[in-house]
A and B are shown apart, each in its own frame.
Chain A
Amino acid sequence: AQSVTQLGSHVSVSEGALVLLRCNYSSSVPPYLFWYVQYPNQGLQLLLKYTSAATLVKGINGFEAEFKKSETSFHLTKPSAHMSDAAEYFCAVSPNYGGSQGNLIFGKGTKLSVKP
């Protein structure tokens, strides 16, 4: 069965510092991968998606992620953290590549805190 592991349930950075949120997946076939952001008491908002077109994916709010097949990773980065980046971030994989079911498998999330 496919799975997603997010290393670190909490990450704290200083404003202006690099943000690195880790995501590893298990998949026997090329996956579709997504990063979502969730602010308190809100739904999930798509940050970016990997669909095999390019290994470096740029998303909204200055975030990007790099797909590394050899490491089965899809880590999320942002060069300079802003206070407004404080939120919970979820990595997700589409487990049925080429199949008929569209349900996603989500990691358990990483809460990002940004210190002034």
Chain B
Amino acid sequence: DGGITQSPKYLFRKEGQNVTLSCEQNLNHDAMYWYRQDPGQGLRLIYYSQIVNDFQKGDIAEGYSVSREKKESFPLTVTSAQKNPTAFYLCASQSRVNQPQHFGDGTRLSIL
């Protein structure tokens, strides 16, 4: 079945550590997105990529980095500069502009 796979489902970060969240899709979608979800705040856009080897900052990009070396993959790194990383992270993909986004099942990141 086509879909989006996020891993791991749960992740713990130590102080000063960078961690990378994986997002893989087999829907052949060009665009991919990373969102952060906090209780009562909805979804906030971190980064997005509309094509391989290109990506743009979203509303809350500080403390995060991404790469898009392959169409299928859009990993997100939460760096030590992100002082409040505890959240639920969602990855999505989209076939073209104005079409629905398809979501993975998320990664929950916590601080040790």
Contacts and interface: CB of A to CB of B under 8 A. Distances in A.
B105 A42 contact: yes
B23 to A, nearest CB: 11
A100 interface: yes
A96 B41 CA distance: 22
Interface string B15-40: 00000000000000001010000001
Interface residues of A, number: 26
Interface stretch (B63-71, B72-80, B95-103): B95-103
B87 to A, nearest CB: 13
Interface string B74-112: 000000000000001010101011111111111010000
Nearest to B108: A41
Contacts, number: 62
Interface residues on B, range: 20 to 34
21 contacts: A41-B88, A41-B105, A42-B105, A43-B90, A43-B105, A43-B106, A44-B43, A44-B90, A44-B101, A46-B100, A90-B42, A96-B97, A100-B97, A101-B50, A102-B50, A102-B101, A104-B101, A106-B42, A107-B42, A108-B40, A109-B42
B45 interface: yes
Contacts of A116: none
B71 to A, nearest CB: 15
Interface of B: 4, 6, 31, 33, 40-43, 45, 48, 50, 58, 88, 90, 92, 94, 96-106, 108
Interface in A30-82: 32, 34, 36, 41-46, 49, 51
